[in-house]
Amino acid sequence: MNPGLLKLAVVGSRSAYGRLAGIAGGVAAGVCLLLLLWGGANGLSARDDRGSWLRETGRPSVAASPTEDPTTSGPGTPVPLTTDTVLMEANPVEVFRDQLINRRDVAAFSTTTVKIPGIVTPPEPGRYYASPALQRLIASTPRDELGDRFGTFAGTIDDNALPGPDSLIVVTGATEAELRQNGRAVLVSDFTTNPYGGSTAAYNTVLSIGAIAVFFPVLLLISIVTGLGAAQRRERFATLRLIGASPQVVSRIAAVETAVPSLIGALLGVVLAIALRPAAAQIPVNDTRMFTADLVTGWAAAAAIVALVVSASALVAAHRTARAGIGPLGVTRAVHEKTPTKWRIVPLLAGLAAMTSAIAITCTPHLRSPWLEMPLLIGGFALILVGIVVVGPWLTRLVSGMGLRQARSAAGVIAASRIQRTPVATFRSVSGLVIAVFVVSVFAGASSIIESTEAPPARPGLLQPTSLHATVGAGHTPAQVSSAARQARGLPGIRSATIGYGPAALSTRDASPEIYLRAADAPALGFQDIPATEIVTVDTSFLYSWTTQPRALTPAPAANLDEMVPVVIVLGTDGTPEAIDRARTLLNSSGVTAHPAATSRDTGLQSSTRLIQGLAVLAYLGMFVAVAIAGLSLAVSTAAAILDRKRVLGLMRLMGMPVSVLRRIITLEAAVPLLSVLLLSVGLGFLVAWLMVTGINDSYRMTWPAPDYFTALGLSLLLAIGAVTATFSLIRGTTAMTTTRFE
Amino acid sequence: MNANDTVAPILSARGLHHSFGQTEALRGIDLDVHAGEVLAVMGPSGSGKSTLLHCLAGVLVPDGGSVTYRPAGRAPVETSALKEPKRARLRLTDFGFVFQFGQLLPELTAADNVSIPLLLAGTRRPEALRRSRELLERLGLEGLGAKLPGELSGGQAQRVAVARALVTSPAVLFADEPTGSLDSLASENVLTLMLELVREAGTTVVIITHDARTAAYADREVIVRDGAVGASYRVSA
């Protein structure tokens, strides 16, 4: 290709430089986001891999003894600890200031061959290894609120066994006897490297759908910016055709002139991604930021993205130019878009059908197979995204047709006519935002399956939110428990220490469904109607965090607490975080508890909802990225729509059309396609969310979205308004008399 | 002496100066345009013709000098002293414009294109469309109101532009090379129809042209050279 000809095509005027800068800038933003998102996805995976050992469930440390009655089991025989195993107990509720600490208590022979990830040798009893973040927390907190729970510091857990720099993990040493006491310890000979256990397929599906949802708007952005200044380019190419360039040469020039700024932009995007990586790593996901190294994509991936973006934009530019049919006489006649037909709904329906099929398969046990369900779910989701973009112009044209018939103002007629004639181009402007709203609705719908973890309000008959309780392990004497209670009463912020009794420890088969209390202690637990007896009973469910109906005390005239064993200890605090953690530290280090002490709030910090909550954080992060990109796309395409028509709009201004009318035209051209498809996006988003969550697990139930969703929707609309108004100054500048005069 | 010379001109330019950077486009032009006359402004490329038209029409504010517009039944207005919103209003209500090309909104039908100035002036759309179609018919475009500009020939599109310029019944029509992109037959057709309508309505016309045949339709010609009026003479009937 003649370099002189290429130079003429690529640069040649100030507006050409502006267009090139616009393409380069947009591609830079897109590539930067792609690399950060890719890095983020890889980083999350790497992070989960590093933390996989925390999901190790081991094998039982007690072998069940057969009994004559097949419905019961015997007391069980301990499986001996050997040098190729460690005895481990995962503490389910180790909490500090509402932060869950991943605690593993281990007992092992000094000669053990088992390697616990991140530490050299298992800690001896009374010593602990902590993650750096936890150790910093321990060092900066009074020992009676946290440090005393773990013993003596033995060392830090290596980064290669930590999900992130903020992970709170502790491995504490214990004796074999201590761990065997409550029967919950397991034997581990090797730590798992599978981070999701049985949820791998579901997790991968959700991640794939999330990745598609976030990458799609980025690709739209790149597609929009590379189409900048199409009208001027057509004029320039027409001139080249007039002086003898063949359609092939013009297509090649179009490819190169888009490839050059795309390459510059893509390289700039790589540099930006490297520069922004440390900042991106600061975004907390699942309670922890990421290691900056987690976001590194590698040069090969960066080169692949650059090559892909540059070649795709060049090919699309060549294709668009070839399709425009630019002749030697220039663009004397407007090239009209093909009128979108109702057939455009097919991809959307196909996507919905694919997802529905996945649900049908989920509900048909003999057909169930992750290899069938997951591709249908992921493929269906991708098809729906494409389907919205494909059906959008058809819907936009329908609505604008109605609008044109009703239009009364010049702005209405001009905007509706343009949309009517170019529904694909006008819808493209808002497609990013429409997709973002769809994605946000999917995320919000899917996130709504997370149950509320709000603790019930303080009421008489319910365990007070400011108190902690711990069940007492079997075999502990009343004196030991009373001693712990006495110690607790002496701590600042602890208002009461109540011991509940029963015929046998709560963890044993002989446990009573009721807890016996001294009536005098009942007010400290928040009871008001107290029977006039010395001893009272309350149902054990009083202790459960999910109990929302008040429990009543009943008289227990025949009970004699001296003949019973302590089964629970409840500490009432003043509600300050310091007092709660002090009480928790005392109970957990007292050695008398069978389970760690917990408040009614703590349940919300654990259980299976944590995975979903983690995904919800990712979802909202996805929302933010998708909406931000969409706003940028809308601003870029609105600017492009003005630049492409600057001569005719300038002439209208010259003839006396006020700038305010031009603003209204631009606003309407964004508002009509946006509002036409917005409701569909919202509805489809929730439908897809329902299909998705039901497809993954039919026990999930969707509810109303969180307030964050409405905030995100509001933000999207504000962003749309912001993006359009940001171009208002461009309208005034590009249609100014002096500019139009020289066009 | 012409009867027009005894009444105050509808447009008066006095001492017009205008520059684009270092290039001086107008160098102290004095010009009167009389009500109802068709004035052709001729001159070579770069002589300052279009700049003169833009200053007269209130599109550009001259760097020096003044332009006064005297509408019938209203007080004279020094357009060069008005702010852009007021000049824009004046252009919309009192002036009409026809350009060489690219002035029709490509996505609007011919009738809608013509109706836009009326809608901007506050006319209801059904009425605006009725008047547009009427004018299109008078310009020989009956049945083409629903066509898009891209579906019309160059001459037809230019007649649509003329209809749009005249639909508000402007006092002054400014035409910048209105037939510059047309063949001679189409040019003649457009000019004949346009001048028939403006003469019937008593509209003043300022027409910029290179073409002597176009200028021959005018009542008077002025020649602009190097930013100054070189000659002014009446065209013999």
pLDDT tens per residue, range A219-254: 777 777 776 666 667 767 776 776 677 778 888 888
Considering only A506-515, A572-581, B62-71, which range has the smallest mean pLDDT? A506-515
Residue A330 predicted with pLDDT over 60:
no
Judged by CB atoms within 8 Å, which residues 646-675 of A form the interface with B? 647-648, 651-658, 661
Tell me the C-alpha distance between A488 and A484, whole Å.
6
Q: What is the CATH number of the domain that holds B163?
A: 3.40.50.300
Q: Which range is most confident: A322-336, A500-514, B221-235?
A: B221-235
Sign of the torsion formed by the C-alpha atoms of A213, A219, A222 and A227: negative
Q: Cα separations (Å) of A609 from A56, A286, A448, A604, B222?
A: 18, 12, 11, 8, 86
Check: pTM over 0.80? Answer yes or no.
no
- Compare A231 and B14 and report the one with higher pLDDT: B14
Q: How confident is the model at residue B160 (pLDDT cuts 50, 70, 90)?
A: very high
Considering only A91-105, A254-268, A579-593, which range has the smallest mean pLDDT? A91-105
Residue A490 predicted with pLDDT over 70:
yes
Mean pLDDT within B65-87? 90
Residue B205 predicted with pLDDT over 90:
yes
**Strand pairing category for B204-209 and B38-42:** parallel
Q: Which residues of A touch B167 (CB under 8 A)?
A: none
Residue A655 predicted with pLDDT over 90:
no
> How many angstroms away from the CA of B175 is the closest CA of chain A?
12
Residue A67 predicted with pLDDT over 70:
no
Residues written for chain A: 743
Residue A264 confidence (pLDDT) = 92
Considering only A326-330, B29-33, B192-196, B230-234, which range has the smallest mean pLDDT? A326-330
Of A408, A409, A651, nearest to B103 by CB-CB distance is: A651
Mean pLDDT within A562-580? 84
**Strand pairing category for A535-539 and A554-555:** antiparallel
Mean pLDDT within B38-61? 90
Q: What are phi and psi of A203, to 5 degrees?
A: -65, -45
Whether the Cβ atoms of residue A600 and residue A463 lie closer than 8 Å to each other: yes
Residue B65 predicted with pLDDT over 80:
yes
Residue A9 predicted with pLDDT over 70:
no
Looking at chain B, which residue has its C-alpha nearest residue A647? B102
Task: Return the residue in B94, B105, B109, B181 with the most chain A beta carbons within 10 A, the one to mutate for interface testing.
Answer: B105
Residue B20 confidence (pLDDT) = 86
Mean pLDDT within A504-516? 71
Tell me the C-alpha distance between B45 and B210, whole Å.
8
Q: Does A632 touch chain B (CB under 8 A)?
A: no
pLDDT tens per residue, range B94-148: 999 988 876 788 888 999 999 999 998 889 999 999 999 999 998 888 889 999 8
CB contact under 8 A, B59 and A737: yes
Residue A456 confidence (pLDDT) = 57
Q: What is the mean pLDDT of chain B?
A: 87
Mean pLDDT within A340-344? 90
Residue A334 predicted with pLDDT over 50:
no
- Expressed as residue numbers, the domain containing B189 is 3-234
Residue A99 confidence (pLDDT) = 79
Task: Return the residue in B107, B116, B120, B148 with the most chain A beta carbons within 10 A, the one to mutate for interface testing.
Answer: B107
pLDDT tens per residue, range A531-558: 778 888 888 777 776 666 778 778 876 6
Residue B154 predicted with pLDDT over 70:
yes
Residue A326 predicted with pLDDT over 60:
yes
Residue A495 DSSP one-character state:
E
Q: Does A276 touch chain B (CB under 8 A)?
A: no
Mean pLDDT within A384-407? 88
Residue A213 predicted with pLDDT over 80:
no
Q: Which two tokens stand for residue A51?
A: 């933390």
In SS3 terms, chain B reads as CCHHHHCCCCEEEEEEEEEECCEEEEEEEEEEECCCCEEEEECCCCCCHHHHHHHHCCCCCCCEEEEEECCCCCCCEEHHHCCHHHHHHHHHHHEEEECCCCCCCCCCCHHHHHHHHHHHCCCCHHHHHHHHHHHHHHCCCCCCCCCCHHHCCHHHHHHHHHHHHHCCCCCEEEEECCCCCCCHHHHHHHHHHHHHHHHHHCCEEEEEECCHHHHCCCCEEEEEECCEEEEEEECCC
DSSP secondary structure string, A39-62? Answer: HHHHHHHHHHHHTGGGG---EESE
- Compare A398 and A290 and report the one with higher pLDDT: A398
Considering only A64-68, A284-288, A543-547, B61-65, which range has the smallest mean pLDDT? A64-68
Percent of chain B with pLDDT over 70: 95
Residue A451 predicted with pLDDT over 60:
no
CB contact under 8 A, B89 and A656: yes
pLDDT tens per residue, range A84-106: 888 888 776 788 887 788 888 88
- Compare A559 and B146 and report the one with higher pLDDT: B146
The count of domains in chain B is 1
Whether the Cβ atoms of residue A498 and residue A524 lie closer than 8 Å to each other: yes
Residue A14 confidence (pLDDT) = 59
Mean pLDDT within A566-594? 85
Q: How confident is the model at residue B1 (pLDDT cuts 50, 70, 90)?
A: very low
Of A414, A651, A656, nearest to B88 by CB-CB distance is: A656
Q: Which range is most confident: A23-27, A77-81, A131-135, A628-632?
A: A131-135
Whether the Cβ atoms of residue A456 and residue A600 lie closer than 8 Å to each other: yes
Amino acid occupying residue A702: M
Q: How many helices (H) and strands (E) does chain B have?
A: 7, 10
Of B85, B93, B107, nearest to A658 by CB-CB distance is: B85
Residue B204 confidence (pLDDT) = 94
Looking at chain A, which residue has its C-alpha nearest residue B50? A741
Q: Which range is most confident: A48-57, A429-438, B17-26, B177-186?
A: B17-26
Q: Cα separations (Å) of A735 from A17, A150, A662?
A: 18, 72, 9
Considering only A273-282, A339-348, A471-480, which range has the smallest mean pLDDT? A471-480
CB contact under 8 A, A408 and B124: yes
pLDDT tens per residue, range B168-193: 999 999 998 888 777 777 888 888 88
Q: Does B92 touch chain A (CB under 8 A)?
A: yes
Of B60, B95, B120, nearest to A410 by CB-CB distance is: B120
Considering only A34-43, A198-207, B127-136, which range has the smallest mean pLDDT? A198-207
- Compare A120 and A246 and report the one with higher pLDDT: A120
Residue B234 predicted with pLDDT over 80:
no
Residue A626 confidence (pLDDT) = 66
Residue A204 confidence (pLDDT) = 64
Mean pLDDT within A577-592? 85
Q: What is the ipTM of this complex?
A: 0.81
Residue A24 confidence (pLDDT) = 85
Tell me the C-alpha distance between A344 and A392, whole Å.
8
Q: Which residues of A touch B89 (CB under 8 A)?
A: 656, 658
Looking at chain A, which residue has its C-alpha nearest residue B104? A648
Q: What is the mean pLDDT of chain A?
A: 79
- Compare A135 and A602 and report the one with higher pLDDT: A135
